[in-house]
Structure 1
Amino acid sequence: MRTQLLVALFLIIQTFASLAQENTTADEIAAATTRFLETFAATQDEQGYKVTFKTGNIDSRLALASCSDELSVEFTGDPWKSEHPSIQVSCQGQRPWRMFVTTTVTIEGPAVVAARPLGRGERVTGSMLEMRPVTVNASRRGIITDATLAEGMTVRRPVNAGSVLTPDHLEAPDAVVRGDHVIITARNGTFSVRTRGKALANASVGEQVLVENLGSSRTLRANVVGPGHVEVPM
């Protein structure tokens, strides 16, 4: 009888040990998350950005099914627009699962800032801009990292000197202005006809605008394709 009890106890212990080995532990999830963030940091370092990070606590009692495949790790939020992007860790194996890990990620690097106060409606030139190191992902609106992308744009709303420029600070300038004479191109495939017209409103490239055909006095809705140039389908 005693031998049978010992055998039964041994089998119970072995069963629990086996079950424990079949679980994906909190340490394994934390390690996968850290490797993912280290790779992200190394990639950004090559582009001139310094990334520091810290992962949130993972409950040590967590016991998820063992994964037959390598754990998949990805951002579920944009790390360039938030210092607290969530990370999803998932298993795509025979018993799939997923969970989320909180993180703190700081990206430091150069960004375009206003060298002086910028007024609404000003056309941006290179002398108005400068590059400074900032916490890139501190702004949810994104930033501009290439000054040439801002040059030639129009200031949409006032910007203080030293402020980081974001895309919503700027807008494309008007390519045609109300009263301007424009070239109207009527196009059908490779065949096109040009005539002169007059813009009846302001519009930038990609927008539609009403124009008057100076030859026929007809009013047309045209697409702005460049400064002083609009296009209508034939």
Structure 2
Amino acid sequence: MLMRTLFLAIAMLFSLISDQSLAATSAEQIQQATRAFVQEWADQRAKEGLKIAFEVGHIDSRLSLADCDKPLDAEFAGSPLETTRPSVLVSCSGKRPWRMYVSLSLEVHGPALVASRALARGERLSEQLVTTQSVQLNASHKGALFNPEDVNGMMMRRPVSAGTMITPDLLEAPDAVERGDHVIIIARSKTFSIRSRGKALANASVGEQVLVENLSSARTVKGTVVAPGRVEIPM
């Protein structure tokens, strides 16, 4: 009788250990958590007028991570609007924490600015030269632009054909001063400033440095373009 009781106790112990070792988070659970997270994100983007199509990447069915005693967390590892293959970080914050990345195939379609006709390098944009069309926003990792006012007055860095999505890398600010322009030189300290007239010796945009000749002293100084026709020099 004692041997039988001992045998049953050992059997129950091994059974408990076996059950605990088999308790795991399956690949299907991770896929479900990923799918639910992305679907919720897609539903929110739909309210903004975007159309989302996605497919969760394959997860090896043999994967076995520790059982999680809390709901699984999920978040994008980067911006989903800048790539067609974003990753979702799925993690467990329970007693036996773990993290893993799940790949995703994603398409995001929505309205953005495109060229209304072919545009040449150096051409200055106006609101009439762009139009809004539905495009795949995440086809380029360079981002998209949505407001025509944001491109008004900007210059094209390179030529594009009609229908090309306008991205920030295609644009540059026009020169605020050009070589030979007469400019106002502002020598500024914390307590006062002195103004004089000068001549720009090169082209430069706002925020860039440029050499200018002081017309009063004939000295050449370097300053920062702060506005069209204005160059500031710290004292």
TM-score, normalization: structure 1?
A: 0.91
- CA-CA distance at 1:4 after TM superposition: 4.6
CA distance in 2, matches of 1:72, 1:224: 48
Q: Give, as a single letter, the amino acid of the residue that structure 2 aligns with 1:195.
A: S
Distance in structure 1 (CA, Å) of the matches to 2:191 and 2:146: 39
Deviations 1:39-97 (A, max 9, x none): 32123223221222111122222221233454332222331121111112123444332
- The residue number in structure 2 matching 1:198 is 199
- Give the secondary-structure state (helix, strand or coil) at the position aligned to 1:220: strand
Q: What amino acid is aligned across from residue 76 of structure 1 in structure 2? A: A
Residue identity in the other structure for 1:54: E
User: 1:38, 1:232 → 2: CA distance?
Assistant: 54
Corresponding residue number in structure 1 for 2:10: 8
The alignment status of 1:167 with 2:185, answered yes or no, reads no
Q: 1:70 to 1:186 in 2, by over 3 A?
A: farther
Deviates more, 1:12-21 or 1:177-186: 12-21
Query: Does residue 33 in structure 1 map to residue 26 in structure 2?
Result: no
* Equivalences for residues 200-215 of structure 1 within 5 A: 200-215=201-216
- The answer for the alignment partner of 1:91 in structure 2 is 92
* 1:78-121 deviations in Å (ceiling 9; x for gaps): 31121111112123444332111111111110111110110111
Moved more, 184-193 or 60-69: 60-69
Query: For the structure 1 residues 48 and 190, does the alpha-carbon distance in structure 2 shift closer, same or farther, using more than 3 Å as the test?
Result: farther
Residue 149 of structure 1 is matched in structure 2 by 150
Residue of structure 1 in register with 2:20 after alignment: 18
Q: Give 1:49's aligned residue.
A: 50
| Partner SS for 1:47 | coil
Structure 1 portions without partners, runs of 5+: none
Q: How much has 1:29 moved relative to structure 2? A: 1.6
Considering only aligned residues, what root-mean-square deviation do their CA atoms show, in Å?
1.8
Distance 1:202 1:93 in 2: 60
- 202-211 or 67-76: bigger deviation: 67-76
Change (3 A) 1:229 1:91: same
Cα separation, 2, equivalents of 1:192 and 1:94: 64
Partner of 1:108: 109
- Alignment partners' CA distance in 1, 2:92 and 2:206: 46
Number of positions where the alignment pairs a residue of Structure 1 with one of Structure 2:
233
Q: Sequence identity, in percent? A: 51
Q: Which residue in 2 is equivalent to 1:133? A: 134
Q: In structure 1, what residue type is equivalent to 2:120?
A: G
For 2:189 and 2:46, locate their aligned partners in 1 and report how far apart those are by CA, in whole Å.
Answer: 50
Distance 1:199 1:41 in 2: 52
SS in 2 for 1:141: coil
Equivalent position of 1:178 in the other structure: 179
1:175-227 CA distance string (max 9 Å, x none): 00000011111111242121111110000011000011111111111001111
